[in-house]
A and B are shown apart, each in its own frame.
Chain A
């Protein structure tokens, strides 16, 4: 049928960010051993303690096994077939020196690295393969004592802070992928907000994987000192390739007394094709520590890309009255698989957590919510509300919900609600009969379904997220 063919074309053309940038790069040979780690560390002129940290993480990693508990199916990853470092060849001391091809890449992605051309109020750290190519508005932020730079820069410029906080929330041996990241991490952002400062602009990191056969192992660390606030956003994309690429990141957030961190992600890695060929394997450890009393960490994620997503942004609510939030939309269309959710660990008294998860499965996609709520013995009056909704489009997709509760304090109040619904033919017919075409009707229903999560995104990103949601589902009916 010609209609089906049109839909097929839609699907094949919808990943608009799948282009490749031709740039001369310094890429390590494939393979992983201690020498590779030493070479990465040397490239970045790292202090000795950081190299030690990497090597001990590597030793730990060698003893660990890849986790198999997730509801994900993929061929074994050969860690010796991956290159662990790739950087554009030209030195990167100022914007003038950045390869014009890379600047063009970011322009095409809708991100200008020239400050005067940017959206007002958004500072950007642009990471291209293994290095940060540019961080904007650094000088302005410095005046307030805010540090916003790449983690490599932090290793040299702010070693005390980095040493104090690195791996305090996600220890190097936390899990297989976190250990790998700790050994080979390349770039990512470092943020420090001094006491009682509300960061006046959105901080944002844009990750781009470009080189072939290269893994991306970024590491981000955000510290909000007492009484401070920051809203941080990350975006990601990659070229469309037939071969799968590994992305294993670690993100650590630390909120001291009365501090608040709002972390938003729009993940749009290349999802692979409808047969499951290519795409990014996304294994990410994200964790926030509400260390001080009355602190708050809020995760919002819109996961539309990757062929495979393994990601559980979590909050450790250590301070009394601290608050953790997790708002998530995850789409699995075509052959995408997502196993995502959160962990809310209540240690402090009167701690509160909210989980709102919206999973959308279309075509042959498989979507799982996996979430843990743990209330420790001394966490008096802890409160959790979880709501996990799944939406199915078509009849070949799958949705699963795996909630875990470990409650050790009798005063805790924990609520869990879960629903599964399907976009029915009758709903589509109703909207179609009012003149709204199928693609728009689905986008409308999906946006309605995700409303509670989308409203948590900063305004600039909400529009992008809505558009992405409809693009990701284009061609999912027919």
Chain B
């Protein structure tokens, strides 16, 4: 098996992904090194969400060709839960409501699954609550969310905050953010940025999908990729995001063909 370099977090080679027999991603290559922040931009329907879902292992995403390596592991050989426990976290664009499950019980279960996977002792209820406090107290995150049912009846902003709580507790290595800023007001976007910047320690990496410049301004990406018709057509640094924000995708030669 081909090994990847020590400082590589994620390496995608020649990836083709179909959903319902339709090709969504094609000949896609991407490498993310430890400590790097990558932003993924592009018009609607170009396959941005499909890419993060494929990395997470979503059942709808059929990998037809290519491979994905994560920290030297062949990702396509392991299932969704294992990928998560290996250190991949995906923040959902629309976090799913699961009635009947107490949020704090869910968080404790998820955390302990990961701890057991890493051969650590699971935390009991007391230790868990202490851990939650320790992890979230620096941020503007309402502890009351813990007592409610998982995302059930949460407002859009509360759901995104709950994603941040999970991110802080699970402490992943690769953070996939699917439009975490959509529907958030300025203050909430600041909280998101504070959390992301707060946990970046030089070893964690981020792949974020966003349409808005505001979040990129607060979390300066090292790389910006433009996805178009299932391929990365352009890669640049933060200035590429500024250019798109100012002039739109057409200015860099991308036409919206869906209209």
Task: Decide if A433 touches B100 in the complex (CB within 8 Å).
Answer: no
With A and B bound together, what is the CA distance between A451 and B150 in angstroms? 14
Residues of chain B within 8 A (CB-CB) of A436 are: 81, 109-110, 113
Residues of chain B within 8 A (CB-CB) of A429 are: 56, 58-59, 80, 96
A168 CB within 8 Å of chain B: no
Q: From residue 443 to 467 of chain A, which have CB atoms closer than 8 A to chain B? A: 444-445, 447-449, 451
Task: Decide if B90 touches A433 in the complex (CB within 8 Å).
Answer: yes
Known: A435-B170, A436-B109, A444-B106. A430 touches B114 (CB 8 A): no
Task: Decide if A448 touches B81 in the complex (CB within 8 Å).
Answer: no
Task: Decide if A425 touches B106 in the complex (CB within 8 Å).
Answer: no
Residues of chain B within 8 A (CB-CB) of A424 are: 96
Task: Decide if A451 touches B100 in the complex (CB within 8 Å).
Answer: yes
B23 CB within 8 Å of chain A: no
With A and B bound together, what is the CA distance between A431 and B80 in angstroms? 9
Known: A425-B59, A430-B96. A435 touches B101 (CB 8 A): no
Q: Shortest beta-carbon distance, B83 to chain A, in Å?
A: 8
Task: Decide if B101 touches A448 in the complex (CB within 8 Å).
Answer: yes
Closest residue of B by beta carbon distance from A3: B79
Contact partner, A435, options B92, B100, B113, B149, Cβ 8 Å: B113
> In the complex, which of the residues B98, B109, B170 has the most CB atoms of chain A within 10 Å of its own CB atom?
B98
A432 CB within 8 Å of chain B: yes
With A and B bound together, what is the CA distance between A355 and B59 in angstroms? 38
Known: A435-B84, A435-B113. A445 touches B96 (CB 8 A): no
B204-238 Cβ-contact flags toward A at 8 Å (1 or 0) = 00000000000000000000000000000000000
Closest residue of A by beta carbon distance from B80: A432
Contact partner, A445, options B58, B80, B83, B100, Cβ 8 Å: B100
A196 CB within 8 Å of chain B: no
Closest residue of B by beta carbon distance from A430: B96
Task: Decide if B79 touches A434 in the complex (CB within 8 Å).
Answer: no
Residues of chain A within 8 A (CB-CB) of B117 are: 435
With A and B bound together, what is the CA distance between A46 and B155 in angstroms? 68
With A and B bound together, what is the CA distance between A429 and B90 in angstroms? 11
Task: Decide if B98 touches A435 in the complex (CB within 8 Å).
Answer: no
Task: Decide if A435 touches B58 in the complex (CB within 8 Å).
Answer: no
Residues of chain B within 8 A (CB-CB) of A425 are: 59-60
> In the complex, which of the residues A429, A435, A448 has the most CB atoms of chain B within 10 Å of its own CB atom?
A435
Residues of chain B within 8 A (CB-CB) of A431 are: 98, 106, 110
With A and B bound together, what is the CA distance between A392 and B89 in angstroms? 28
With A and B bound together, what is the CA distance between A448 and B152 in angstroms? 12
Q: Shortest beta-carbon distance, A385 to chain B, in Å?
A: 19
With A and B bound together, what is the CA distance between A465 and B60 in angstroms? 34
Known: A436-B110, A436-B113, A444-B106. A427 touches B98 (CB 8 A): yes
Residues of chain A within 8 A (CB-CB) of B60 are: 425
Contact partner, B56, options A433, A438, A440, Cβ 8 Å: A433
Q: From residue 128 to 180 of chain B, which have CB atoms closer than 8 A to chain A? A: 149, 166, 170
B45 CB within 8 Å of chain A: no
Closest residue of A by beta carbon distance from B115: A435
Known: A433-B80, A435-B110. A449 touches B100 (CB 8 A): yes
Q: Shortest beta-carbon distance, B60 to chain A, in Å?
A: 8
Q: Shortest beta-carbon distance, B153 to chain A, in Å?
A: 14
B94-114 Cβ-contact flags toward A at 8 Å (1 or 0) = 011011111000100110011
B49 CB within 8 Å of chain A: no
Task: Decide if A445 touches B98 in the complex (CB within 8 Å).
Answer: yes
B85 CB within 8 Å of chain A: yes
A426 CB within 8 Å of chain B: yes
With A and B bound together, what is the CA distance between A5 and B59 in angstroms? 18
> In the complex, which of the residues A425, A426, A430, A434 has the most CB atoms of chain B within 10 Å of its own CB atom?
A434
Task: Decide if A448 touches B149 in the complex (CB within 8 Å).
Answer: yes
A80 CB within 8 Å of chain B: no
Contact partner, A430, options B92, B102, B113, Cβ 8 Å: B92
With A and B bound together, what is the CA distance between A426 and B60 in angstroms? 10
Task: Decide if A440 touches B109 in the complex (CB within 8 Å).
Answer: yes
Closest residue of A by beta carbon distance from B114: A435
Known: A433-B80, A434-B84, A434-B170. A448 touches B98 (CB 8 A): yes
State the B residues within 8 Å of A (CB): 56-60, 79-81, 83-85, 89-90, 92, 95-96, 98-102, 106, 109-110, 113-114, 117, 149, 166, 170
State the A residues within 8 Å of B (CB): 424-427, 429-438, 440, 444-445, 447-449, 451
Could you write out 18 A-B pairs with CB less than 8 Å apart? Answer: A427-B96, A427-B98, A429-B58, A429-B80, A430-B95, A430-B98, A431-B98, A431-B106, A432-B81, A433-B56, A433-B83, A433-B84, A435-B117, A436-B113, A440-B109, A444-B101, A444-B109, A447-B100
